Homo-oligomer: A and B are copies of this chain.
């Protein structure tokens, strides 16, 4: 019995080997994603800000952990493993309070969290080799992660900016 067990174990390892060694490993259909909200992101330094119209309809801040901010400020690409970018999206709302004081309609501020409140890009060139070295994550306003089907749409959209290490946002001093 013991010899048979060894034999079966050896067979199962060999059976798995082609999948591990195949160049197909790391293809888009085997993408891995970030599934937990990186702790402390709300304390990170600011990369920049933006407003998205259309369905997104948000005003957003892009923050970076220390490794990301250092990389942004140095201008060196690619970003090092350990760098994390956070994107926080709030509702884009007119501020009646500000407008009253200014005496005209002009002020738009960050309201409640948008439906897809948080996004992250986590750099790990080995773990996320299939998607340019970045793992993608998205969480709704209740902290629930997006489906794998939704997360699969991240990388194709970032791919056109490969020359900037897949980062849309530029650092604004």
Contacts and interface: CB of A to CB of B under 8 A. Distances in A.
Interface in A38-64: 42-46, 48-54, 56, 59-61, 63
A46 B61 contact: yes
A154 B22 CA distance: 65
Interface residues of A, number: 40
Given A157-B101, A160-B101, A59 B51 contact: yes
Copies of this subunit: 2
A107 interface: yes
A172 interface: yes
B110 A53 contact: no
Interface string A94-109: 0101100110111111
Given A101-B157, A157-B101, A168-B98, A60 B53 contact: no
B59 A49 contact: yes
Interface string A103-136: 0111111110000000000000000000000000
Nearest to A104: B54
Max count, chain B CB within 10 A of own CB: residue among A43, A46, A108, A173: A46
